[in-house]
Every structure is written in structure tokens, then in C-alpha cells.
Amino acid sequence: MAATKKRTNPMLAALTTSALALPGLNVKADSAPEAASVGYRFYVYQEGDAPVDKLSSGSPERYSIYVNQFQLLAPLNESVSINFNYIQESMSGASPVGTEAGDGGESQLIMSAASIKESRRDVSSTVRWYAENGNLGMSVGVSNENDYDATYGGIDVERHFNKKNTSVKLASSVSSDTLSPTGRVDEQSKQFTQSKQSVSMVASITQLVSAQAMLQTGFGTTLLSGYLTDPYKALEGDVRPESKNQYTWSAGARIFFAAQDAAMHIGYRYYTDDWNINSHAVKLSWYQNIKYDIQLIPSLRYYVQTEAEFYDRYFTTARSDGFFSTDYRLSSYGAISAKLKYVQTLKRFSYTATIEWYDSSASYSYRNISFESPGLVNYVMFTTGLNFNF
């Protein structure tokens, strides 16, 4: 047995230099995925029936939505990846058109007839470039429905600083949509067609504060313009402004608990727009690791919003600005949702299953809401998915 101390030797230098040229020894955290993966996800979304006692017309059976999603992620080379996403959605059921005054002055729900059957297809692609300290993504997509077409695109850039303890992300996207509601014609008896545009910008910063904790905050704005009225609700009286400026601020923390082998994610989001809707959302999730291949994630979310300036459950006189809507989504309400997600990672597959219960009601608001919209929705959503890595 013998041992010596290290010193430089040309043979060792040659071997070491050659070893360090191996790609596995030059890993960048921000590197393109090494292998292609395909994923499939199936969602079932079922809304609870509308309250029959508050129904003025239409069907109480609300939306059922089935979604098939396929995803392909493939590396093009060491620093570029491409992603394709295809979504096919089929919807059936009735949706709330608005509310009106009942005989006793109570608000009554107008539902559409139950015959709505629609399908939507969405195709999008993202190309992402990876560099030593960040990545850049560019995406485009189109979505088609028989009465709604959208074309969208976006660019995002993420940069890491401070030994990757700080990350800054900027993203911007635009969308141009065309609405051609079924059965609606304009003055010349041609298909009634309208358009709307949106521009979004988001900036966020993530900071690792210790090995166990990470903080994140972000600011976003979306400017919408064009025809923002719901074309089906418009028939029953729904006129909205032709612009909407939305602002969001979010903050969150992730804390890892080593003894429990779990992490807690806590997040808050504030939203405000110039239609006078303000909302607060708080979400708490617990990521529990079980062995190293299973993760169980229960989460709870609380949401509350104020109503739009021009919302009411019914109108007896016209508003001076000419805007009015009885859409439940613009009313004051609160919502609670509970979700349980299961993730299992096998050698080449990962499997996820999620169930979510969502319940909205005026009584969940911390504010005192005198009149609840009967259009408020409750739903159960089940998602299951499979991912395969090559």
C-alpha cells in the first residue's frame, strides 16, 4: 500500500481535460430536456345543476366539459427544445344567460336551452432556448370553436442571478379573437361578427432565502379592447365597455419541512380592474412526499370578489353610462375550492390524478352581500394524466 500527494502530471492533465469535455460533466441547470416526452391528460369538468326554484327559463343542466390534451416535448439539440400541445374539448349543457326580476322581485336565472354542444380545438407550439443562466421561450397558437376563433403568441425570458438564488422572469403575450355567435345576424342579415384583442405583461422575481424557503412576487397587467360583451348574454341585455385594464399582484412562499419530507406552498393574489372588480385569492398547498416516487398534494383556495360597476341582478332603469350586465361572473361572491392531487413517478412514466371541488356562494364572501346571483357555479373536476419519457 502506498499513497502520494497530488501534483500536476501531463498524463493526468490530459485525462482530466478529456474527461471534462464530456457533456455529462458540463451540465447546465437550464438545459434543454435530454429526452423527448409525450403526455396525455384527460379532464372531466362537471358543473352542479342550476337551482330549479330560481330558474326563470332554460335548462338547469349546466356544463359538462371533457378535455383531451396531448403534449410532445422534444429536444432539438443541447440548448433548444420544442413543445407541441393539442387540446380537444367538448362541452355540452346549458349556461347562464343572465338574471331577471321574478314576480316577487327576487332574481331569477335565465339559462340557455340544454342543446348547446360545442367543441374546441387548440394547437400551440413553443420553442425554448436555454443558456447558462436563463432561458427564452417563444410561442404561437390557434384555438377554434364554431363561434370563436383566437390566435395568440407570446415571448418569455427568464434570467438567473446571484448563483441562481434569484430568478427574474418577464413574459408578454398578445391575442386576437373573433366572435361569431351562432344564430346572430347583423343589420344586413349577415353573420354577426366582432373582435377583441388583448396584450398581457407579467414580471416576477423568485428569491431563495435559505435552503428551505423560497419567496416569489409578481406583477401583471392585461389590457383588453374590442367587443368584451358576452354575445349570447347580449341578447338578454348585456352591454360592457370596449376596454378593460386588469392588474394583478401576487406573492408566495414555499417552505420545505425536512422532518415531514414535505413542502408548504402559500400564495396570495390581488386583482383589480377598471370595471371596479377587485378580488383576493389565497391558496395553501401541502406537497407530501411518500418514498421518492409518490407525491400527495392537498390544497385549499379561498376567493372573494366585488361586483363590476355595471352589474346588477336585474335592471328596471337604464344606467346613465349605457352599460349593464347580470352575468354571475361579474357579481360579488366568494368561492372555496378543495383539491387533492396524486403524482406517481415510475421508471419511464409519471401518472397524475386530481380531484377538485369548487363551491361559490355570496355567503362565502367576507363582505355582506345582500343578493346572491343564482347563476353562481359549483363544480367537480377530475383530471388524470400519463407522461411518458423516451
Partner 1 sequence: MSSVKKDSLLKVFSFKAMGSPCKIHVYLSRQQELHVAQAAIQLVHQLEAKYSRYQSTSILSKMNKDGETTGLDNETIALLNYADIAFHNSDGLFDITTGVLRKAWNFKSQSIPTHELIESLMPYIGWQKIIREGASIIIPKGMQIDFGGIVKEYAADAVASYFLAHNVCHGLVDLGGDIRAIGPHPSGKPWQVGIRNPCTPKAAIAKIELSSGGVATSGNYERFISVNGHRYGHVLNPLTGWPVSGVSSVSVHADTCIVAGTASTIGLLKGPSEGKHWLNDLGVEYVLQEE
Identity of the residue, 67 or 343, whose beta carbon is nearer to partner 1 in the bound complex = 343
Task: Note whether 166 binds partner 1 by CB under 8 A.
Answer: no
Identity of the residue, 138 or 168, whose beta carbon is nearer to partner 1 in the bound complex = 168
Which residues are paired to 77 by β-bridges?
A: 80
* Contact string 64-93 vs partner 1 (x = CB under 8 A): --------------x---------------
Out of 52, 104, 258, 370, point to the residue binding partner 1 (CB under 8 A): 258
* Amino acid of residue 38: V
Closest distance of CB 264 from partner 1, Å: 9
Task: Note whether 263 binds partner 1 by CB under 8 A.
Answer: yes
Q: Which residues 6+ apart lie within 8 Å of 317 measured at CB? A: none
Closest distance of CB 265 from partner 1, Å: 9
Task: Note whether 319 binds partner 1 by CB under 8 A.
Answer: no
* Contact string 237-256 vs partner 1 (x = CB under 8 A): -----------------x-x
**Maximum distance among all alpha carbons in the chain?**
101
Do β-strands 80-92 and 64-77 pair in parallel, antiparallel, or remain unpaired? Answer: antiparallel
Question: What phi and psi values does residue 362 have, to the nearest 5 degrees?
Answer: -65, -30
Out of 174, 261, 300, 353, point to the residue binding partner 1 (CB under 8 A): 261
Rama region for 230: left / alpha / beta (φ>0; ψ in -120 to 50; rest): beta
Task: Note whether 216 binds partner 1 by CB under 8 A.
Answer: no
**Cα–Cα distance, 159 to 204 (Å, whole number):** 11
Identity of the residue, 92 or 345, whose beta carbon is nearer to partner 1 in the bound complex = 345
B/e letters for 1-15, b = 16+ CB within 10 Å, e = fewer, are eeeeeeeeeeeeeee
Closest distance of CB 191 from partner 1, Å: 49
**Cα–Cα distance, 54 to 108 (Å, whole number):** 5
Identity of the residue, 3 or 52, whose beta carbon is nearer to partner 1 in the bound complex = 3
Near partner 1 in 107-136, by CB under 8 A: none
For residue 256, what is its C-alpha cell?
420545505
**End-to-end Cα spacing for the chain:** 46
Nearest to 63 by CA among 30, 102, 8, 112: 112
Quick one: how far is CA 206 from the chain centroid? 19
Quick one: how far is CA 35 from the chain centroid? 26
* Contact string 356-385 vs partner 1 (x = CB under 8 A): ------------------------------
- Interface residues with partner 1 (CB under 8 A)? 1-9, 11-12, 14-16, 18-29, 31, 34-35, 78, 163-165, 208, 210-212, 214, 254, 256, 258-259, 261-263, 287, 289, 292-293, 295, 345, 347, 389
